[in-house]
Protein backbone atom coordinates (compact mmCIF):
# COMPACT_ATOMS: atom_id res chain seq x y z
CA UNK A 1 0.00 0.00 0.00
CA UNK A 2 0.91 3.64 -0.42
CA UNK A 3 0.23 6.02 2.47
CA UNK A 4 0.64 9.63 1.42
CA UNK A 5 -0.78 12.87 2.87
CA UNK A 6 -4.54 12.66 2.44
CA UNK A 7 -4.52 9.46 0.39
CA UNK A 8 -4.26 5.72 0.98
CA UNK A 9 -3.90 3.28 -1.94
CA UNK A 10 -3.97 -0.48 -1.42
CA UNK A 11 -3.78 -3.75 -3.32
CA UNK A 12 -4.33 -7.22 -1.89
CA UNK A 13 -2.88 -9.95 -4.06
CA UNK A 14 -1.04 -13.20 -3.92
CA UNK A 15 0.95 -15.58 -6.04
CA UNK A 16 1.50 -19.24 -5.39
CA UNK A 17 5.09 -20.41 -5.96
CA UNK A 18 5.29 -20.95 -9.70
CA UNK A 19 1.52 -20.59 -9.95
CA UNK A 20 -1.17 -18.13 -10.93
CA UNK A 21 -1.31 -14.58 -9.61
CA UNK A 22 -4.49 -12.94 -8.35
CA UNK A 23 -5.68 -9.60 -7.00
CA UNK A 24 -8.97 -9.65 -5.14
CA UNK A 25 -9.29 -6.06 -3.93
CA UNK A 26 -7.63 -2.72 -4.58
CA UNK A 27 -8.45 0.95 -4.48
CA UNK A 28 -7.62 4.45 -3.34
CA UNK A 29 -9.36 6.41 -0.59
CA UNK A 30 -8.90 9.95 0.63
CA UNK A 31 -8.76 11.01 4.26
CA UNK A 32 -8.57 14.37 5.97
CA UNK A 33 -6.01 15.38 8.55
CA UNK A 34 -2.67 13.83 9.48
CA UNK A 35 -1.74 10.16 9.23
CA UNK A 36 -3.55 9.40 12.51
CA UNK A 37 -6.73 10.15 10.57
CA UNK A 38 -6.08 7.10 8.36
CA UNK A 39 -6.75 4.81 11.33
CA UNK A 40 -10.44 4.56 10.50
CA UNK A 41 -9.60 3.29 7.00
CA UNK A 42 -7.19 0.75 8.45
CA UNK A 43 -9.86 -0.48 10.84
CA UNK A 44 -12.56 -0.49 8.13
CA UNK A 45 -10.46 -2.72 5.86
CA UNK A 46 -8.99 -4.85 8.64
CA UNK A 47 -5.41 -4.16 7.58
CA UNK A 48 -4.17 -5.48 10.93
CA UNK A 49 -5.00 -8.98 9.66
CA UNK A 50 -2.43 -8.79 6.87
CA UNK A 51 1.29 -8.53 6.27
CA UNK A 52 1.53 -5.08 4.73
CA UNK A 53 4.23 -3.68 2.49
CA UNK A 54 4.93 -0.32 0.90
CA UNK A 55 7.25 1.16 -1.73
CA UNK A 56 9.87 3.84 -1.46
CA UNK A 57 9.61 6.67 -3.99
CA UNK A 58 12.44 7.02 -6.56
CA UNK A 59 13.97 10.03 -4.80
CA UNK A 60 14.12 8.21 -1.46
CA UNK A 61 16.72 5.55 -2.32
CA UNK A 62 19.61 4.64 -4.61
CA UNK A 63 20.44 1.45 -6.50
CA UNK A 64 24.18 1.00 -6.97
CA UNK A 65 25.62 -1.77 -9.14
CA UNK A 66 28.78 -3.13 -7.52
CA UNK A 67 31.04 -6.15 -7.78
CA UNK A 68 30.00 -8.80 -5.28
CA UNK A 69 32.58 -9.08 -2.48
CA UNK A 70 34.11 -12.51 -1.90
CA UNK A 71 33.02 -12.87 1.72
CA UNK A 72 30.79 -15.27 3.71
CA UNK A 73 27.04 -14.53 3.50
CA UNK A 74 26.99 -13.32 7.12
CA UNK A 75 29.54 -10.61 6.28
CA UNK A 76 28.03 -9.53 2.96
CA UNK A 77 26.14 -6.40 4.03
CA UNK A 78 29.11 -5.15 6.06
CA UNK A 79 31.39 -5.61 3.04
CA UNK A 80 28.89 -3.87 0.76
CA UNK A 81 28.69 -0.92 3.16
CA UNK A 82 32.45 -0.52 2.93
CA UNK A 83 32.34 -0.76 -0.86
CA UNK A 84 29.67 1.91 -1.36
CA UNK A 85 30.67 4.37 1.38
CA UNK A 86 32.31 6.80 -1.08
CA UNK A 87 29.41 6.59 -3.53
CA UNK A 88 26.84 8.07 -1.13
CA UNK A 89 26.08 11.75 -0.58
CA UNK A 90 25.74 11.09 3.14
CA UNK A 91 27.67 9.08 5.71
CA UNK A 92 27.28 5.35 5.33
CA UNK A 93 26.39 5.08 9.04
CA UNK A 94 23.25 7.07 8.21
CA UNK A 95 22.19 4.56 5.55
CA UNK A 96 19.94 1.52 5.56
CA UNK A 97 21.46 -0.95 3.10
CA UNK A 98 20.15 -4.11 1.48
CA UNK A 99 21.48 -6.17 -1.40
CA UNK A 100 20.01 -7.76 -4.50
CA UNK A 101 22.15 -10.32 -6.31
CA UNK A 102 22.40 -10.33 -10.11
CA UNK A 103 22.24 -14.01 -11.15
CA UNK A 104 25.52 -15.28 -12.63
CA UNK A 105 25.98 -17.01 -15.96
CA UNK A 106 24.48 -20.50 -15.40
CA UNK A 107 27.21 -22.04 -17.58
CA UNK A 108 29.97 -20.43 -15.54
CA UNK A 109 32.61 -18.07 -16.87
CA UNK A 110 35.23 -15.66 -15.69
CA UNK A 111 33.02 -12.58 -15.33
CA UNK A 112 32.88 -11.25 -11.77
CA UNK A 113 29.52 -11.51 -10.07
CA UNK A 114 27.56 -8.31 -9.56
CA UNK A 115 24.88 -7.16 -7.19
CA UNK A 116 22.75 -4.12 -6.54
CA UNK A 117 23.18 -2.30 -3.27
CA UNK A 118 19.92 -0.57 -2.35
CA UNK A 119 20.45 2.31 0.05
CA UNK A 120 18.20 4.82 1.77
CA UNK A 121 18.76 7.37 4.50
CA UNK A 122 17.78 6.09 7.92
CA UNK A 123 15.63 9.14 8.60
CA UNK A 124 13.59 8.56 5.42
CA UNK A 125 13.06 4.92 6.32
CA UNK A 126 12.02 5.88 9.85
CA UNK A 127 9.63 8.52 8.49
CA UNK A 128 8.02 5.87 6.30
CA UNK A 129 7.64 3.51 9.26
CA UNK A 130 6.26 6.37 11.36
CA UNK A 131 3.46 7.08 8.87
CA UNK A 132 2.21 3.50 9.13
CA UNK A 133 2.55 3.43 12.90
CA UNK A 134 0.44 6.58 13.11
CA UNK A 135 -2.24 4.94 10.97
CA UNK A 136 -2.03 1.70 13.03
CA UNK A 137 -1.15 -0.31 9.91
CA UNK A 138 1.35 -3.15 10.49
CA UNK A 139 4.28 -2.71 8.09
CA UNK A 140 6.31 -5.83 7.30
CA UNK A 141 8.26 -4.90 4.16
CA UNK A 142 9.58 -1.73 2.55
CA UNK A 143 10.12 -2.52 -1.12
CA UNK A 144 11.22 -0.62 -4.24
CA UNK A 145 9.55 -0.25 -7.67
CA UNK A 146 12.34 -2.14 -9.48
CA UNK A 147 11.62 -5.42 -7.70
CA UNK A 148 7.90 -4.78 -7.88
CA UNK A 149 8.15 -4.41 -11.66
CA UNK A 150 10.25 -7.57 -11.77
CA UNK A 151 7.36 -9.47 -10.14
CA UNK A 152 4.98 -8.43 -12.91
CA UNK A 153 7.48 -9.00 -15.71
CA UNK A 154 8.10 -12.53 -14.44
CA UNK A 155 4.48 -13.37 -15.25
CA UNK A 156 5.10 -12.69 -18.95
CA UNK A 157 8.40 -14.54 -19.39
CA UNK A 158 8.51 -17.53 -21.71
CA UNK A 159 10.87 -19.80 -23.63
CA UNK A 160 13.73 -19.25 -21.17
CA UNK A 161 14.53 -15.84 -22.64
CA UNK A 162 14.96 -12.38 -21.14
CA UNK A 163 12.10 -9.91 -21.03
CA UNK A 164 12.36 -6.12 -20.91
CA UNK A 165 9.60 -4.00 -19.38
CA UNK A 166 9.21 -0.22 -19.55
CA UNK A 167 6.97 1.76 -17.22
CA UNK A 168 6.49 5.44 -18.02
CA UNK A 169 5.82 7.49 -14.89
CA UNK A 170 4.85 11.12 -14.81
CA UNK A 171 8.43 12.41 -14.74
CA UNK A 172 10.59 9.44 -15.77
CA UNK A 173 10.58 5.91 -17.09
CA UNK A 174 11.70 2.69 -15.41
CA UNK A 175 13.26 -0.05 -17.56
CA UNK A 176 13.86 -3.52 -16.15
CA UNK A 177 15.17 -6.72 -17.73
CA UNK A 178 14.20 -10.10 -16.27
CA UNK A 179 15.64 -13.54 -16.84
CA UNK A 180 14.31 -16.68 -15.16
CA UNK A 181 12.17 -14.52 -12.86
CA UNK A 182 15.20 -12.60 -11.59
CA UNK A 183 16.09 -8.93 -12.05
CA UNK A 184 19.16 -8.61 -14.27
CA UNK A 185 19.15 -4.87 -14.94
CA UNK A 186 17.22 -1.78 -13.86
CA UNK A 187 17.67 1.82 -14.92
CA UNK A 188 15.77 5.10 -14.98
CA UNK A 189 15.08 7.07 -18.16
CA UNK A 190 14.87 10.83 -17.82
CA UNK A 191 11.68 11.19 -19.88
CA UNK A 192 8.16 10.88 -18.50
CA UNK A 193 4.56 11.04 -19.57
CA UNK A 194 4.46 14.79 -19.04
CA UNK A 195 6.86 15.22 -21.95
CA UNK A 196 5.30 12.51 -24.11
CA UNK A 197 1.75 13.83 -23.71
CA UNK A 198 2.48 17.52 -24.23
CA UNK A 199 4.10 19.75 -26.79
CA UNK A 200 3.93 19.91 -30.55
CA UNK A 201 4.49 17.02 -32.91
CA UNK A 202 8.17 17.93 -33.33
CA UNK A 203 8.71 18.16 -29.56
CA UNK A 204 7.00 14.83 -28.99
CA UNK A 205 9.11 13.24 -31.70
CA UNK A 206 12.23 14.50 -29.92
CA UNK A 207 11.08 12.93 -26.65
CA UNK A 208 10.34 9.65 -28.45
CA UNK A 209 13.84 9.71 -29.91
CA UNK A 210 15.37 10.23 -26.47
CA UNK A 211 13.52 7.22 -25.09
CA UNK A 212 14.52 5.14 -28.11
CA UNK A 213 18.18 6.13 -27.81
CA UNK A 214 18.28 5.24 -24.09
CA UNK A 215 16.68 1.87 -24.81
CA UNK A 216 19.09 1.09 -27.62
CA UNK A 217 22.10 2.02 -25.49
CA UNK A 218 20.81 -0.11 -22.62
CA UNK A 219 20.14 -3.14 -24.81
CA UNK A 220 23.58 -2.85 -26.42
CA UNK A 221 25.20 -2.68 -22.98
CA UNK A 222 23.11 -5.59 -21.73
CA UNK A 223 24.06 -7.70 -24.73
CA UNK A 224 27.75 -7.11 -24.04
CA UNK A 225 27.46 -7.87 -20.33
CA UNK A 226 24.95 -10.73 -20.53
CA UNK A 227 25.46 -12.30 -23.95
CA UNK A 228 23.92 -15.54 -22.66
CA UNK A 229 20.53 -13.83 -22.10
CA UNK A 230 18.66 -13.19 -25.36
CA UNK A 231 15.98 -10.54 -24.78
CA UNK A 232 12.76 -11.78 -26.40
CA UNK A 233 10.78 -8.54 -26.40
CA UNK A 234 10.00 -5.22 -24.77
CA UNK A 235 6.68 -4.82 -22.98
CA UNK A 236 5.23 -1.36 -22.31
CA UNK A 237 3.30 -1.06 -19.05
CA UNK A 238 -0.21 0.42 -18.99
CA UNK A 239 -0.52 4.19 -19.24
CA UNK A 240 -3.29 6.64 -18.36
CA UNK A 241 -3.60 7.71 -21.98
CA UNK A 242 -2.29 6.81 -25.43
CA UNK A 243 0.87 8.69 -26.40
CA UNK A 244 1.94 6.82 -29.52
CA UNK A 245 5.12 5.59 -27.83
CA UNK A 246 4.35 1.90 -28.35
CA UNK A 247 3.88 2.32 -32.09
CA UNK A 248 7.03 4.44 -32.34
CA UNK A 249 9.18 1.92 -30.49
CA UNK A 250 7.69 -1.01 -32.42
CA UNK A 251 8.70 0.69 -35.65
CA UNK A 252 12.24 1.53 -34.56
CA UNK A 253 13.48 -1.23 -32.22
CA UNK A 254 14.93 -4.46 -33.50
CA UNK A 255 12.69 -6.57 -31.27
CA UNK A 256 8.95 -7.09 -30.74
CA UNK A 257 7.21 -4.44 -28.63
CA UNK A 258 3.94 -5.29 -26.89
CA UNK A 259 1.52 -3.71 -24.44
CA UNK A 260 1.23 -5.19 -20.95
CA UNK A 261 -2.32 -6.43 -20.39
CA UNK A 262 -2.41 -7.28 -16.70
CA UNK A 263 -5.61 -9.30 -17.01
CA UNK A 264 -3.77 -11.75 -19.29
CA UNK A 265 -1.53 -12.83 -16.40
CA UNK A 266 -3.40 -11.83 -13.23
CA UNK A 267 -6.87 -12.86 -12.13
CA UNK A 268 -8.72 -9.76 -10.87
CA UNK A 269 -11.66 -10.19 -8.53
CA UNK A 270 -14.93 -8.28 -8.66
CA UNK A 271 -13.57 -5.68 -6.22
CA UNK A 272 -10.40 -5.18 -8.23
CA UNK A 273 -11.66 -4.14 -11.67
CA UNK A 274 -9.49 -1.29 -12.89
CA UNK A 275 -9.65 1.39 -15.54
CA UNK A 276 -6.44 1.94 -17.58
CA UNK A 277 -5.55 5.03 -15.56
CA UNK A 278 -5.89 3.02 -12.33
CA UNK A 279 -3.76 0.19 -13.71
CA UNK A 280 -1.06 2.78 -14.39
CA UNK A 281 -1.34 4.44 -10.99
CA UNK A 282 -1.42 1.17 -9.02
CA UNK A 283 0.97 -0.76 -11.30
CA UNK A 284 3.87 -1.04 -8.86
CA UNK A 285 1.60 -1.65 -5.87
CA UNK A 286 0.17 -4.62 -7.79
CA UNK A 287 3.68 -5.92 -8.34
CA UNK A 288 4.54 -5.42 -4.67
CA UNK A 289 1.44 -7.37 -3.66
CA UNK A 290 2.73 -10.34 -5.69
CA UNK A 291 5.96 -10.48 -3.70
CA UNK A 292 6.89 -14.05 -2.82
CA UNK A 293 9.65 -14.92 -0.41
CA UNK A 294 11.52 -18.17 0.03
CA UNK A 295 14.47 -19.06 2.20
CA UNK A 296 17.85 -19.25 0.55
CA UNK A 297 19.37 -22.73 0.51
The number of residues making up the chain comes to 297
Contact 222, 177 (CB under 8 A): yes
Give the three-state DSSP class for 209.
Answer: helix
What are the beta bridge partners of residue 165? 176, 235
Q: Please count the other Cβ atoms lying within 10 Å of the Cβ belonging to residue 154.
A: 22
Place 17 in a pLDDT band, splitting at 50, 70 and 90.
confident
What does the pLDDT read at residue 296?
A: 45
Mean residue pLDDT of the chain comes to 93
Q: Is the dihedral of CA 65, 14, 286, 58 positive or negative?
A: negative
Looking at the DSSP assignment, which residues form a beta bridge with residue 187? Answer: 175
Q: What average pLDDT does this structure show over 161-188?
A: 96
Average pLDDT over residues 139-159: 95
Task: Give the pLDDT score at 16.
Answer: 79
Query: Residue 97 pairs with which residues in a beta bridge?
Result: 119
Question: From residue 221, how far is each of 30, 216, 217, 218, 226 by CA, in Å?
Answer: 43, 9, 6, 5, 8
In the prediction, which pLDDT does 109 show?
62
Q: Are the C-beta atoms of 176 and 88 separated by less than 8 Å?
A: no
pLDDT at 88: 94
Domains and their CATH numbers in the chain: 58-125 (3.30.420.380), 145-260 (3.30.420.40)
Share of the chain above pLDDT 90, in %: 83
Could you list the beta-strand ranges (E) of 122-223: 139-143, 162-168, 173-179, 182-189
Residue 106 pLDDT > 90, yes or no?
no
pLDDT of residue 110: 54
Q: Determine how many CB atoms are found less than 10 A away from the CB of residue 27.
A: 15
Model-level pTM? 0.94
Distance CA(230)–CA(105), nearest Å, equals 13
Amino acid sequence: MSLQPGELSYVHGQQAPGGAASVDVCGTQAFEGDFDAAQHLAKEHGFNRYQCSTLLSPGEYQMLLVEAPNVPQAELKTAIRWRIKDLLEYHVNDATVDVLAVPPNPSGGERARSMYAVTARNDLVQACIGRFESARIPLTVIDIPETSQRNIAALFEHDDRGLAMLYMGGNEGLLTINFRRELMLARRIDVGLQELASGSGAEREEHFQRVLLELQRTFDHFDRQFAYVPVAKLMLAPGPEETGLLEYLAGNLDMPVERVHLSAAISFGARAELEPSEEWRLFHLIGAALRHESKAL
